Structure 1
C-alpha cells in the first residue's frame, strides 16, 4: 500500500493508462459499429439507459454541458436512428429523448461490462467512501483541465 502522496501518484500514473486502454478495447456491438459513435455519445447513452427518457435540458444539466451541445448530439443520434424524440405529454413544447427500442439491447450490452466492473469495485465500499472516490476523480479531472 502506498505510504505517501508521491507513491500514490506513481501507482496511479501506471494504472490510469491501463484502465483507459482496457476501456477502449470494449468492442462496439456490431449493431452499432456502422454508426461512428464517439466517447461523447457514450455518456449521453449511459444516462438515458440508466435514468430513462428525459429532456435535452435535463441531459445537458446532468452532462454539465450546454443544451445546444446536447441538441447537436441528440440530432446526430436521432438521424442515425439511435435516439427518438417525442413531445412531452404534459408540456407539448418540450421534447423527450429516449433510446430507440431497436438499439437498446446493443447499447445495454456495450455498457454492461463497464457498469459491472464499477459495481464490483464500488460494492465493498461504504457510501461515504464511494462519494470520496468520485469526488477525488472529479478533483483530478478539474486539475487536469486547469493545466
Structure 2
C-alpha cells in the first residue's frame, strides 16, 4: 500500500487505507464544532443533530415523517420531540389538514442558534461537493450510504 499522496492510489486497499485514516479526523473535527452559547444549557446529543437538521432544512414535519427520514420508530422520535419541546427547542402544533397529527418545528427563538450550529458543516460540504458534477455527488453520497450499511451489518 502507498502512503497518502504517493503512488497511483488506484487500488481499493489504497483508498481503504486513506479513508481509515481520514474518517477519525473528520469525526473529530465535526465534534469540535462549538455549540452556540444559546444552546449550551440544553442537553443536546449527536442523535438530535439529524432531527434538527431535517427540521431546519425541510421545515416543519410530522413525527412519522421524521421517523421515516431518521429510520427509527415513531416512538423514538416522539420521545426526542417531547424532550426538546420541554426545553423550548421544538414546538408541536396540530396539523390543520388532520387534527390527529402533530406538526413539529424548531421554535423561532432557537432557529438562529441551530442554523448557526449547523452552518459550518453545511458550508464545508458545499465547498467539498461544489466542484463535482451531479453524477459525482450522487456517487459520493451513495458510497457513504453503502459504507454506513456495510458497517451496520457487522
Shared fold, TM over 0.5 = yes
Superposed CA deviations along residues 31-76 of structure 1, whole A, max 9, x for unmatched, are 1111010000000000000000010001111111111111011011
Please, which moves more after superposition, 112-121 or 126-135?
Answer: 126-135
| TM-score when normalising by structure 2 | 0.93
Q: What is the 5 A alignment of 1:74-113? A: 74-113=81-120
Is 1:52 the equivalent of 2:42?
no
Structure 2 unaligned spans of 5+: 1-7
**For this pair of structures, how many residues does the alignment match?**
147
- For residues 131 and 69 of structure 2, what CA distance do their matches in structure 1 show? 26
Question: Which residue matches 2:70?
Answer: 63
- For residues 110 and 64 of structure 1, what CA distance do their matches in structure 2 show? 23
Q: Give how far 1:127 is off.
A: 1.2
Structure 1 unaligned spans of 5+: none
Question: Which residue matches 1:114?
Answer: 121
Question: Which residue matches 2:23?
Answer: 16
- For residues 143 and 118 of structure 2, what CA distance do their matches in structure 1 show? 23
Question: Aligned match of 2:130 in 123, 128, 143?
Answer: 123
| TM-score when normalising by structure 1 | 0.97
Could you say what secondary structure the match of 1:102 adopts?
coil
- For residues 132 and 10 of structure 2, what CA distance do their matches in structure 1 show? 21
Question: Which residue matches 2:36?
Answer: 29
Q: Which has the larger radius of gyration?
A: 2
Could you say what secondary structure the match of 2:148 adopts?
helix
- For residues 88 and 3 of structure 1, what CA distance do their matches in structure 2 show? 52
Question: Which residue matches 1:5?
Answer: 12
Greater per-residue helix proportion: 1
Question: Which residue matches 1:134?
Answer: 141
